[in-house]
Chains A and B, each alone.
Chain A
Amino acid sequence: MTTLQPQTVHGAMFDTNELVINMGPQHPSTHGVLRVVLRLDGEKVVDADVVMGYLHRGIEKLSENRNWTQIILLTDRMDYVAAATSNVGYCETVEKLLQIEVPRRARYVRTILCELQRIASHCLWVGTHAMDIGAMTVFLYAFRERELILDLFEEFCGARLTYNSMRIGGLPLDLPPGWDKKVLEFCKIMDGKLDEYETLLTHNRIWLERTKGVGVIGGPEATALGMCGPTLRGSGVARDVRKDEPYAAYDEMEFDVPIGTAGDTYDRYLVRMEEFRQSLRIIRQATEGLPEGPIVGKVPRLIKPAAGETYHAIESPKGELGYFIVADGKSTNPYRFRVRPPSFCNLQALPRLVRGHLVADVVALIGSIDIVLGEVDR
């Protein structure tokens, strides 16, 4: 930790020494194996250094040695609380390279799965974020609803966490009969539960004290820092890949992109709470207008895209999830496979956000930017 040497502070009534402490990698509030080295002056954070890589599995390198279909399963392991969106992003990138058309029904189902996944991921976020700050109840409530979504996924593809739920060109299997009715039923349940969460948090005095004015960042600075997703929208930048560069069936859906004004932890919370509702709105539209038809496009037996490179981004629950893939046109595996992980880019803002705040706010801020270490480290 060469950058974080403790320094003596002069000018106070007594000379005080700064203290360097480790937060993590075993700290429960770091949501995995994140280590934050904090330089403290009293209880105030002077500087922070983020150390990561404890979960680095070399997914990019591995993918360059697997064939195109095998990689889908590796993308599950990046953002393991939102595996379906990673699947969609990867499959769409390969479809772009292969220039194949995906049937409309498959695109609709992908949209439904992505939005269910967004709700599941936000449930996990609101639960852990609130628990980090001290509200235990929300955690239990949110996990109860997340369970319903995992059940829906289990019925669709048999897995509850790492779904492997897409194929290049479409879907592995059609929806089970009656699944869409269950989804609509879930939407009805979730509507009421969201009000429950908001009753517990939105006007709660303790919640307001802990989140308002904590980790304020302005729009231009957040953009330059490469922040993305709800974290960027909380700062008032209306950037949403679903709107700006529509994929799947988002161009046929009606929804709004909520943005914040203050750019603090509370606004990021409000943005995500509104995203719950917008996701439910998209799911209703997609489920009710679900077209009939094939679920897989015309995919060649041997997947071998022509030589070339492309970048394709989607909006994962955490932000812009991009894939940069280079095909060499000769082998059956990608020549270069690169993931632009939204959590990694959001985490880069953490030292900037925590500076000047208290140690307890670091916990709130890590929760607020919603990271998954599997994606940060890959």
Chain B
Amino acid sequence: MADDPQIPPAPPAATADTPAAPRPAPAAAKPAPAAGGEAHVPKASAPTGPPDPPPPADAVLPAFITSLQAAVPGSVSQVSYYLGDWTVIVPASHIIEAATYLRDAPEASFDYCSDLTATDWPPRAERFDVIYCLYSTRHRHRVRLKVKVAENQPLASVTGVWTAANWLEREVFDMFGVNFTGHPDRRRILMPDDWQGYPQRKDYPLEGPGELLMENPLDWLKLRQAREEADIE
């Protein structure tokens, strides 16, 4: 608790009046953020990403992955295999080409986008994994695509490839704030239209926003940390 006195006593009323003002002070009091960590809240032990294990040596790559590598150069940055599922990690710049190829190529024909979601890894610079779970009604196989994007980094919408992605991307935008570009109807879907913040992010508190968080989630979180530390003492 050495740095406890340095945290300014931010009473709720004071912060509510001037939401932006107390922000520089705690930032200065805190130690410099770790490499790659931004202003997010990171716990010391926060994981930096899924392991994405490489396929075992004796595993044969499915035909659609090898042909994707050949047909769209640069579209496969890594292939991973875990518990029977193949995952292809695709650079954000190539997602439309890779998705279109996987939908149209006869050996892939992933015509069904069964899920589209994201995972938040705050300590990482490219903090979001956007995950596309694809299925082929013809060959009955599955693959997952994964794209790593930073906050505010534009990511092309795949609504043009699978219409199913429309609402699923809206939900990812609503919950994580991933910046989809070219989306026909990018509005919030589950939360109210005027909601502040993105609830599924790891730095968003479970208890909900409270009156402070409507202005700035980080202030609220720091206040909560300070309260918890005070409780411990």
Point out residues on A near B: beta carbons under 8 Å.
3, 52-53, 56, 58, 60-62, 65, 96-97, 99, 220-221, 223-226, 228, 237, 239, 244-245, 307-311, 313, 320, 322, 324, 326, 328-330, 335-336, 338, 340, 344-345, 348, 377-378
Give 1 or 0 for each of B158-172: 1 = CB within 8 Å of chain A CB: 000011111110000
* Among candidates B51, B114, B200, residue contacting A61 with C-beta atoms closer than 8 Å: B200
* Among candidates A223, A245, A324, A348, residue contacting B167 with C-beta atoms closer than 8 Å: A348
Bound CA span A309–B53, Å? 10
Q: How far is the CB of B40 from chain A (nearest CB, A)?
A: 15
B115 near A335 with CB under 8 A, answer: no
* Among candidates B115, B166, B185, residue contacting A311 with C-beta atoms closer than 8 Å: B115
A224 near B199 with CB under 8 A, answer: no
Q: How far is the CB of A177 from chain B (nearest CB, A)?
A: 38
How many of B's residues come within 8 Å of A, CB to CB? 40
Q: Is the interface of A mostly helix, strand, loop or mixed?
A: mixed
Give 1 or 0 for each of B107-150: 1 = CB within 8 Å of chain A CB: 00001111101011000000000010100010010101000000
Nearest B residue (CB) for A311: B133
Point out residues on B near A: beta carbons under 8 Å.
45, 47, 50-51, 53, 82-83, 85, 111-115, 117, 119-120, 131, 133, 137, 140, 142, 144, 162-168, 175, 185, 188-192, 199-200, 204, 206
Bound CA span A329–B53, Å? 14
A58 near B163 with CB under 8 A, answer: no
22 examples of A-B residue contacts, CB within 8 angstroms: A52-B189, A60-B175, A60-B200, A62-B206, A96-B83, A97-B83, A99-B83, A224-B112, A224-B163, A225-B164, A237-B137, A307-B47, A310-B83, A311-B85, A313-B114, A324-B115, A324-B131, A324-B133, A326-B119, A330-B47, A340-B114, A345-B164
B164 near A224 with CB under 8 A, answer: yes
Bound CA span A282–B112, Å? 27
- List the A side residues contacting B192 at CB < 8 Å: 53
B133 near A309 with CB under 8 A, answer: no
- List the B side residues contacting A348 at CB < 8 Å: 164, 166-167
B164 near A53 with CB under 8 A, answer: no
Q: How far is the CB of B56 from chain A (nearest CB, A)?
A: 14
A338 near B113 with CB under 8 A, answer: no
